[in-house]
Structures are given as C-alpha cells and as structure tokens.
A and B are shown apart, each in its own frame.
Chain A
Amino acid sequence: MRVFTRVVLAAFAVVSTAAAQRPADHGAAVILLGQEPATPVPTLISGSANAAVADLLFLRLARPGRGLLTTDERSFEPELARSWSRRDSLTLVFELDPRARWHDGIPVTSRDVLASFGRMRDSTVDPVRALLLRQLASVTAEGDRRVVMRFRRAYPEQFYDATFHVQLLPAHLIDTIPPGRFAESRFAREPVGSGPYRWVRRDPGQRLTLAGNPEFFLGAPKVDRVVFLVVRDVEAALNLLLDGSADVYEAVPPVSGPQRLGASPSLQVLAAPSFSLTYLLFNQRAYGDRSLPHPILSDPELRRAIAIGIDRTTLIRSTYGGYAAPAGAPVAQAHWTFRLVTDPLRHDPAGAAALLRQRGFRDADGDGILERDGNPLVLRLNLPTTSATRMMMATQIQEQLRRIGIRIELVRLDAPVWAQRRQRGEFDVDFSGAVLDPSPTGIVQAWTCAGQSGSNHARFCEPELDRLIDRAMTAPRTGEREWRDVYGALQRAVPAVFLASPQNVVAVHRRYRNVSLQPESLYRDLWRWSVDPARRIARDR
C-alpha cells in the first residue's frame, strides 16, 4: 500500500509542479450541491442548484443590498447598471456600466437589456417571469448605454421587479436562437454571461466547472477555479468535506452535522438566513373533492386549536438545533418583513382542548380520540419521504396532537405522488416546504383567492385578506404597517401552521477569507472571497 501511495503522490507532484504558480491569495473551491445544475441559464432555470450557478455567470442590472429591502431602490447595489434615476413615479432610467463585457469580449449594451426583457416578458418563453413582470409596460433604449423602463402603476417594488427577475443575456448570441429551440441550443450547453465566472465544462451527473473571469469589471475573482460537485447523499458529502476533497457544502444536517464537522480543524460551520419555510397546510376543501368544504378544517377555530396544540419550540429544537426560528406567517427569516410578524399562536394545549370542546368534540368512548356526531377527529397528514426533517417533525406532531385528542395519520409518499396529491387536493393536512422569493409579495401566489388557479392548493380564499395584500403591495412607502395588517389577518384566519424558517447551515473551509453567504443566492459574492496564503492547500496552487 505504501508503494502504491508513493507512486500516486509522485504522479501528483509532477502534475502540480507543471502548473503555473499563482498569486498567494488565489485558490480553488470545490462546492457540493445536492442537485445537478443541468441548465444554469436564465429562462431555463429551475431549482436552487441551477440558480446558484447562474448567479455566478449572469448579472442583473442591480441586486438587493445586504438588508434585502425590496422596496427601497437606494439600498440596491449596482451590477450591470452603474446608476439609476427616476423620471416620475412610473419611469425608471438605468445607465449601463461601460466597463461591462460579455465573456466573449463584446460590450454589454442596451440592446442586450431589450433582448433579455423581450424574452422574459414573453409568456410562451417563461410564463412565471412574464407574470412577475406584468406591471412593466415598456422597456426602451436611449442610445447604447441608457435603458428606460415604464410601469403600468406606481408601487414600492418597481425597482425590485425591474432588476431581480431578469439576468441579462447576450443579444448577439441569443437573437438567432428561436425561443422554442433555446434549451437545445449551443448557448444553453455552453452559456456566455457577463458575471465573475466563465463556463468551462459540465460532466453530466458529476460536476460543473467554472473559471474566474480575469476581465470582470467589478474585480477579478481570487477564488478562480470553481467546481460544483453533484453529491446527492448527505453522508458522502460530509465524508468529502472531512477527507479534504471538498470545501463548501450548503446542506449540512443542522443537528448532527456541526458536531461531526467540528472534529475537523479545517472546517467551519456558518449559518445564513434563508427564504425557506416549512408549514402544515390545511385543506379548505373536502379531501379530493373541491366542490365541498372540508368537514373539519373549513372551521377557522378548529384550525386554531390544531395550531396551538403544536409545540413549535420543541419541534424546532429537536429537528433544527439552533438553526431555525418559529415562523408566524408565510415569511422567512431573510425577508425584511420577518421582524413585523408577531406570533399569537403560542403552544397552549389546554386552550386547544377547550376550543375543541366548544366545537362539540368529546371523547365518548374513552379511547383518547375526540369524536363529534360519532365521527372521530382523524386527519391525514401527507408528507414526502424525501425530506428527513419533515418525517422527523411529523412523528412529533402526531404525538403532540394525540395528547389533545386528535389522531393524525401519517401518509408518507414518494415525492412525485405527494406533489400530485397536493395539486389534486387529496390531503387533509399537507406538510409543505417552500423557498420563497425575496419579496413579501410572493404571498399572492399561495394565499390569495387569485392564487387558486395556481399554487394555492388548499383553496384558501379570504377576500378581506386579498384587499389587505393589495393595499400593502401598493403602499406609498415601504408599507410596514400594511404588511403587519396582512400578517395579522393571516394569523386570524389560520390557513396553515407556519412551523419554522430554517437557516442555511453551510460548511466552509477555514482557509477562505471575506466569506459571505447571501440568503437569495448563497455564492453570489464568491468572487470576493480569497485564500489565506498561510493556509493554502495543494489545489490552490
């Protein structure tokens, strides 16, 4: 074995000395992803892995600042737009940065902005983005470097809509590709962006390699070789970190992971707020028959009883350790409105039992489960087997609710079957998880009457809440008071038990400096990272 190891080391020594010497604070990063970034190209993106890579290749006009305040354009940081101004409440003007170049050396111009917005506002190309950009009336160019955007109405998130949803594509490369053939095009296979990293290659199912763009106009990346490895198994990912083959992993199990990785002196575990949310969704309509109200869950008082019968603090402690906060509404820790939520649904089993009694439920047969009109209080909780966290929480929820006389039947389903049943309304309670948009207005999709044709699977509809949401979205300033009212109304209606807003638990090698992880895109600032020269390892040289 020793001889074999020596031969291998000798071969590597030859390989590494052949490589050119690089600056002392430059290096490489091997980042582990749980999903494969198969198409990290705007308009084709789905899933967080694609988004993580696309954010290194493609820039926006501007990006949300540190506070992620989506309603204040002054808090945004410039990317391809050097500056911006307003002509009136409906018109935004962007000045493009003259230093910006595509990876093939062609300057970024207003033609690129027009082409990109043209594609993304086309509902046949990207229906979701087209919906998000529906308030944008026109995008026009004034010369090569100035772009004017006009909106249909005044609202606080105009700037967010104009910048966050669209990563620019190079017009000179995409104009000749018919939208219907875009996914199969060479551009989709070897994308050319304007971001800090250039495309190198993708080995399907294994890895995706990027190289630092030395001409990047905001500063050449010091971590200039980046490999995204696809590792679906958590154990394999942790082993790769521990044996030094990988540098960063974003899905560290929050309870066992930090302790295990803590054994390695070269690793640190960091927590970053996320836009993730887990919640129990109450079906407002009968199981599998949306023409009828749900016999139990259409009553808000019964929903409240269930909500206060669950001890979220204990649940969060046992499943997330210190890496999550209780959520009181459909907002996550990284939202700027998170601090506006006050949660009145504290754990109160006695109160829950009283509410159930008030609604006519009694344990007539002494089996510990309440009945009404001879029907036991039984609810089916659907959950996907792919989520270990949800499986663990569900068992605890089952036990907590059993103590107040509610029997929960856990229906563990394969992910596609679980998602299908949710879409068809075949559930009493659904254990949902979501990664939300940075804007609190994302609430429209799942919690309004209009959302019933889309992702409002529970068919929750409260016209008064819709009115409050509309008021908050069009509030003259940030709309803090209005959003507070929205969350208050949601808590009164109890359409779901908002359980937790987990953090991203990320393992990062200690040799990196200036590490910052952004909630809306963890590796957005990777190009600002550098390597401590004293701690360089072989793959940095």
Chain B
Amino acid sequence: MTGWLLGRLLQAAVTFAVAVLLLFVLMRVAPGDPLARLTEDRAASEQEIQRLRARFGLDQPIGTQLRAFLKGLTRGDLGVSIEHYPEPVTRLIAARLPATLLLGGTALFLNFTIGIWLGVRQAVRRGSRFDRWLTRLSLAAYAMPSFWLGLMLVTFVSLRWQLLPAAQMSDPLLAADAGPLARALDVLRHLVLPAATLSLTSIALPMRHQRAAMLAAFRLDFVAAARARGLTERRVRWRHAWRVTLVPLLTLFGLWIPILVSGSVFVEAVFNWPGLGSLAYQAIGSRDYPLLLGTAMLVTAAVVIAGLLADLGYALADPRVRLERRRSPR
C-alpha cells in the first residue's frame, strides 16, 4: 500500500509540474497583450508602457520569466496581479477561495446527500410515478443553462416575492458590530439561490448514477441472501446494497471536487458571487498572466488531488483494486 501510494504521489507531482509548465508557455504564446488593456481607452506614452512591462517582467525573454516564476513558486509567491496591481496573486486567491468553497461545498453537499437519497428512493420505487416524475424533472433541470435558471429564480424569488436577496454574498451595510449569528444568517440568505441554482442543474448526475448503481446492486446474490435472512428492508438497502455502489460514486465525487475550487462562472456572474470562477474569467479577459496562472494552478492541483483521493478511496473501499494493481504488471 505504501509503495502504491508513493507511486501515485509521484505521478500526481509530475502531472502537476507538466500542467503548470504547459500553462505558463501557452499563456505567453497566446495572442493579446496584458498591458494593451490597461491603456486601452487612454493615452499612454511609450515610456509608460515600457515602465509597466519592466514592472511585470514582461520585457524579459520567456525563459527568464519562467525562471523568475519558478523561483517565486518555491517561496509560495505567485507574483503580482497586473489587473489588480499591486495585489499579490496569493492574496487575491485567498480572498476568493472561502466564497468559492462555500458555494461549491454547499452544492456538492446537497448533490451527494439529497441526490443519493433520491437516487436510492427511485431505485426502490422503480417504475412508479415518483420515479418517472423525478427522472423527468431532474433531467429537465440538468438540461437548463445554469445562468437561465439563476435568472428565473432571481426574477421570482427575489424580485417578485422578495424572499431572498438577488445577488452578493453578504449585506454590504450589515452593522460592523453584528454578531456571528447575524453574519452567518446573512450569508445563508445570500447563499440559498446560487447554491440552489448550482445544485438543481447538476443533482441529476449523482441521482441517476445512484439509481442505476442501486438497481444493479439489488440484483446481486448477497442482497437477495440478506433479504432471505429476514433483515429489514431499510437495513438491506443501506447496509448491504448501498455500500456496493460507493465505488462508482467515488469516481463521480472525484470529478466533482475540482468544481469546488474552480467555481461556476455563470452562477457567480448572475449572483455577483465573489468566487474564483469569475476571478479566473476576468484574468483571461485581461490576460493577467500571474493571476490566470495562479487560478489555473489551483484548479490543476484540485484535479490532481481529487484523482489521487479517488484512487485512494477505491483502494480503501474495495480491496480488489489493490490486488488488481499488484497483478497488472504480469
């Protein structure tokens, strides 16, 4: 197990390094000048442009820029944002990360609790009216563009019925001395619509996965044996059948984890949610290389770590995975 883990860690580190290197080079060779935007609607002398190039190291050859970047990386310094100068990239990311994790984490939590529960219920009541309608509704929500659903929710829930705020993560004028409870409630009110939008448009995935896996599990011999032993249906369902479905769900969970940090550009835009998705989108639009690289690295790291965790999860959940890995070289 230790050898396998070390091997996977090494593989993950190499994947990350190659991805970062590729990102760095591709961003530099892509068309578009990051300084052109800063000077787009106002006059700038050649001297000023040169000064700005020197400030951000853009006057150096790409190899020198890469060395400087890697040197900074060893110190945990990702450089300074061009668009948000003089903010360091790490500070900008750190400022946005909690909002992203909160929104992504809530959607993930809803999808993998309610989604799984509904998937199991559908499998149990297969072919019933409940199953058919839930399938239709979840697939309809899955087919909806998230920004459209977000706008619809805002139109009705916020503007027409005035139940929840239309955008933002918190009330900008909440009293400075407001207690933690008032602050938490305020964030919760603002979280409901974006989290619902993200969740509604994606909950079909774990739900459908869970339904299919559960139906397959119900057909297994040991589940029939458990029923024959006289165990309650609830115990058969959750203790025996559901545990078998964990491996495919782990795969899905691993694929979802990067969304936790990458955020959702559309949902963040509609709700003005201050997350990393919109920050990365702005960085692309302005060719803010340091910020773009910083956010891209974070997502890359999340993908690599999620893959690693999923693999680890398989190995822990199913001993056959380890055995198969040991046998595979032969």
* A and B found bound together: yes
Please tell me which stretch of A8-16, A343-351, A402-410 contacts chain B, meaning at least 4 of its Cβ atoms lie within 8 angstroms of it.
Answer: A8-16
Please tell me which stretch of A62-70, A280-288, A391-399, A416-424 contacts chain B, meaning at least 4 of its Cβ atoms lie within 8 angstroms of it.
Answer: A416-424
Q: Are A204 and B91 in contact (CB under 8 A)?
A: yes
Q: In the complex, how many angstroms separate the beta carbon of A21 from the nearest chain B beta carbon? A: 13
Q: Interface residue count for A (Cβ, 8 Å)?
A: 65
**Cα-based distance from A237 to B272 in the complex (angstroms):** 8
Residues from chain B with a CB closer than 8 A to the CB of A46 are 38, 42
The residue that B92 contacts in the complex, of A15, A204, A229, A239, with Cβ under 8 A, is A204
* Interface: A492 (CB within 8 A): no
- CB-nearest residue of chain B relative to A419? B36
* Interface: A534 (CB within 8 A): no
Q: Are A39 and B270 in contact (CB under 8 A)?
A: no
Q: Are A184 and B86 in contact (CB under 8 A)?
A: yes
Q: Mark A37-63 against chain B: 1 for CB-CB distance below 8 A, else 0.
A: 011000000100000000000000000
Please tell me which stretch of B175-183, B212-220, B316-324 contacts chain A, meaning at least 4 of its Cβ atoms lie within 8 angstroms of it.
Answer: B175-183
Residues from chain A with a CB closer than 8 A to the CB of B173 are 28, 30, 225, 227, 539
Q: Are B285 and A386 in contact (CB under 8 A)?
A: yes
Q: Are B172 and A30 in contact (CB under 8 A)?
A: yes
**Cα-based distance from A419 to B37 in the complex (angstroms):** 6
Known A204-B92, A239-B159, A454-B46: A419·B272 in contact at CB below 8 Å: no
Please tell me which stretch of A205-213, A214-222, A515-523 contacts chain B, meaning at least 4 of its Cβ atoms lie within 8 angstroms of it.
Answer: A205-213
Q: Are A183 and B86 in contact (CB under 8 A)?
A: yes
Please tell me which stretch of B8-16, B26-34, B64-72 contacts chain A, meaning at least 4 of its Cβ atoms lie within 8 angstroms of it.
Answer: B26-34
Q: Mark B65-100 against chain A: 1 for CB-CB distance below 8 A, else 0.
A: 000000000000000000111110001100110000
Residues of A within 8 A of B (CB): 1, 5, 7-8, 11-12, 14-16, 18-19, 28, 30, 36, 38-39, 46, 123-124, 127-128, 131, 183-184, 188, 203-207, 209, 225, 227, 229, 231-233, 235-237, 239-240, 242-243, 245, 386, 414-417, 419-420, 422-423, 433-435, 442, 445-446, 451, 453-455, 539
9 shortest interchain CB distances as A-B pairs: A419-B36, A416-B32, A239-B166, A445-B43, A455-B43, A243-B166, A183-B86, A420-B33, A127-B48
The residue that B286 contacts in the complex, of A15, A18, A416, with Cβ under 8 A, is A416
**Cα-based distance from A22 to B151 in the complex (angstroms):** 37
Residues from chain B with a CB closer than 8 A to the CB of A240 are 166-168, 272
Known A36-B84, A127-B51: A206·B169 in contact at CB below 8 Å: yes
The residue that A127 contacts in the complex, of B31, B45, B178, B279, with Cβ under 8 A, is B45
Q: Mark B146-168 against chain A: 1 for CB-CB distance below 8 A, else 0.
A: 00000100100011001101111
**Cα-based distance from A445 to B181 in the complex (angstroms):** 56
The residue that B32 contacts in the complex, of A18, A127, A227, A417, with Cβ under 8 A, is A417
Residues of B within 8 A of A (CB): 31-34, 36-48, 51, 83-87, 91-92, 95-96, 151, 154, 158-159, 162-163, 165-169, 171-175, 177-179, 181-182, 185-186, 189, 269-272, 274, 278-279, 282, 285-287
A131, A225, A417, A434 pick with most chain B CB within 10 angstroms: A417
**Cα-based distance from A416 to B35 in the complex (angstroms):** 8
Residues from chain A with a CB closer than 8 A to the CB of B166 are 236, 239-240, 242-243, 245
